[in-house]
Structure 1
Amino acid sequence: MVSPGILLVDKPAGLTSHDVVARVRRAFGTRKVGHAGTLDPMATGLLVVGIEGATRLLTYIVGADKTYETTIRLGATTTTDDAEGDVLVRAEDADLDAVTAEGIDAGVRALTGRISQVPSSVSAIKVDGRRAYDRVRAGEDVVLAAREVTVSRFDVGAARRVDGAIDLDAVVDCSSGTYIRSLARDLGAGLGVGGHLTALRRTKVGSFDVSDAVGIEELDGATPLSPADAASRVLDVLRVDAADARDLRYGKRLAGQATRVTGAFAAAVDEDDTLVGVVEKRGDDLKSAMNMPEERR
């Protein structure tokens, strides 16, 4: 029997997130596998994968803040806002010569904080039930609605001139739903030379770090985080005794215990360090928002 858990995988370039899920299914011998937050095939880095009952935890992980390391190329726009797309417009050398460090800094500041961002047209956002990228590949013109996102850090290193372009290495901390390709596109547009991504690596999802992840060739024999361990990294922990654990599993409320939880949700962990589920406040009480399947011993 496959035990539930959260596996951190360092996705290589060239694989889709679905490819990684398929490999985890084979390695662990189960169909019940999901992930929290898609990475494009070009991107590398941290993919948080849920196995068996721990897939229920992904709902509470997917909205966590993310950290990315990226390379932005100024000097060309592409159909996908990254290096995998066709080049639409290239900047003239004179326009690139006019790009200054002060101009880059101003552009970065304008894209930091709470901003309105139009996602790339080849994103996975659904439009009338179909993915935007599927509509683009079918020849449709797709313009997605702007959305509010938060970029809490946008640190850019020194600019370096390459063939007909300027490359910038950057580190971005952002809210879930932020498109780094769109940051590259918008930075280039603001500087009047166009821009797109040439590299993207996700290094953190909430408190999960890629340094703790396994490579795609290390899945066999990999040890996932226990549901209790994983949940404690994204939620406050509520310690419950055997009686409260039993009540939660049977759908009963914990009367008068709402003051024990400060956030919207908390991970209920029993005396055996087993995750009972996730609880939420209901008036003065706590009720189960998600129950984990009870582990057999």
Structure 2
Amino acid sequence: MTNDPAILPAQGAILLVDKAEGWTSHDVVAKSRRALGTRKVGHAGTLDPMATGLLVLGAGPSTRLLTHLVGLDKTYLTTIRLGSATVTDDREGERISTAEVDAVRRATPERISATAADLTGDIEQAPSAVSAIKVDGQRAYDRVRAGEAVELPKRPVTVHAFELGEPRYGLDDTGAPVIDIDATVRCSTGTYIRALARDLGNALGVGGHLTMLRRTRVGPFDVVDAVDTEALAQGGALPLLAPTAVATRLFPRLDLSAEQAVDLGNGKKLEVDSAVTPDGPLVAAVGPDERLVGLVQVKHGRVRAVTNFPVTAGGDS
């Protein structure tokens, strides 16, 4: 075991972490700060303590990339329990309803599939009341834990896929009838999987909540490539991703000369061949040393910097 911090490159890095159950996203950030020897660490989308799976972290100047990673689509594996509802829409919350036996029996596989289809595509979803969304300056989950009834307004989200396994009919630990279903969900950012379970159960008239949630992908990044939290806590070498490698996976690449790299870094606008570099909302501008100079917009051959990526010793800019 070693507690020596990993060497953080001058432009920082992106780190993929497979969060264990019971850890908060803040716990992961705190351990990463120690492991990387820098205070400047952030993440591109939180996970509840009950949830496991992929957290995308940025360290040093690479935290500037996180703004452009937050909006990526995400993939989850989950287990939904139909037949009871909880205040948190997951197994950690107090139970607020239990369905009658006949209601659970009426939730046939065909009805469940049809209802899931109604929750697929572009939908309006009310986030779970136990969420980090602020209501009059206070987190919704704090208001719920204080005993308030919180109802958040619906917002548009996209569920690209809501794939269900075979329903398993049985009894919970109180002897009440339940249906457990494993599911894979691919969705836009801002989608609450707990709310999806709640809405599926409500539409079937039986209530629903999550008993397991695991995030497996964020955009092109997969949890199989992530370091687990135990290894993170031990410190030492970590599989760091260079910001150039990350940016060029997400955006088209524009190679710059040394002079162009300096000019762009100094805030000057560049002229490029519009036939070679098509217009785009974001393009990764890369210097001759494979350094990420910035994320830029290109319009009619003119390059404008959106986010610059400076180089500083120790990655602590």
Flag whether TM exceeds 0.5 (same fold).
Answer: yes
Q: For 1:54, what is the secondary structure of its paired residue?
A: helix
Segment of structure 1 superposing worse, 230-239 or 96-105: 230-239
Match of 1:237 in 2: 253
Taking the aligned partners of 1:140 and 1:197, their CA distance within structure 2 comes to 22
1:173 Cα shift?
Answer: 0.5
Match of 1:110 in 2: 118
User: Is the 1:276–1:294 contact (alpha carbons within 8 Å) kept by the matching residues of 2?
Assistant: no
* TM-score normalised by length of structure 1: 0.96
* Structure 2 counterparts to residues 1-297 of structure 1, below 5 A: 2-3=8-9, 4-163=12-171, 164-219=177-232, 220=235, 221-255=237-271, 260-281=277-298, 284-294=301-311
Offset from partner CA, 1:50-69 (integer Å, 9 cap, x none):
01110000000010000000
* TM-score normalised by length of structure 2: 0.90
Match of 2:174 in 1: none
Q: For 1:176, what is the secondary structure of its paired residue?
A: coil
Taking the aligned partners of 1:137 and 1:99, their CA distance within structure 2 comes to 31
Offset from partner CA, 1:183-214 (integer Å, 9 cap, x none):
00000011110000000000000000000000
Taking the aligned partners of 1:76 and 1:258, their CA distance within structure 2 comes to 58
- Larger relative contact order, structure 1 or 2 (CA cutoff 8 Å, min sep 6): 2
User: Is the 1:72–1:170 contact (alpha carbons within 8 Å) kept by the matching residues of 2?
Assistant: yes
Taking the aligned partners of 1:47 and 1:171, their CA distance within structure 2 comes to 18
Deviation >3 Å, runs of 4+? 256-259, 281-284
Segment of structure 1 superposing worse, 213-222 or 257-266: 257-266
1:92 Cα shift?
Answer: 1.2
User: Is the 2:244–2:292 contact (alpha carbons within 8 Å) kept by the matching residues of 1?
Assistant: yes
Taking the aligned partners of 1:217 and 1:293, their CA distance within structure 2 comes to 32
Taking the aligned partners of 2:313 and 2:94, their CA distance within structure 1 comes to 53
Segment of structure 1 superposing worse, 80-89 or 277-286: 277-286
User: Is the 2:70–2:189 contact (alpha carbons within 8 Å) kept by the matching residues of 1?
Assistant: yes
Quote the RMSD (CA, aligned, Å): 1.6
Taking the aligned partners of 2:207 and 2:130, their CA distance within structure 1 comes to 17
Cα pair distance change 1:213/1:33, threshold 3 Å: same
User: Is the 2:84–2:97 contact (alpha carbons within 8 Å) kept by the matching residues of 1?
Assistant: yes
Residue segments in structure 1 that go unaligned for 5+ positions in a row: none
Give the residue type in structure 1 aligned to 2:284. A
Taking the aligned partners of 1:16 and 1:191, their CA distance within structure 2 comes to 32
1:79 Cα shift?
Answer: 0.1
User: Is the 1:258–1:286 contact (alpha carbons within 8 Å) kept by the matching residues of 2?
Assistant: no
1:226 Cα shift?
Answer: 0.5
Give the residue type in structure 2 aligned to 1:122. V
Report percent identity of matched pairs. 55
1:28 Cα shift?
Answer: 1.2
Taking the aligned partners of 2:178 and 2:74, their CA distance within structure 1 comes to 28
Q: For 1:264, what is the secondary structure of its paired residue?
A: strand
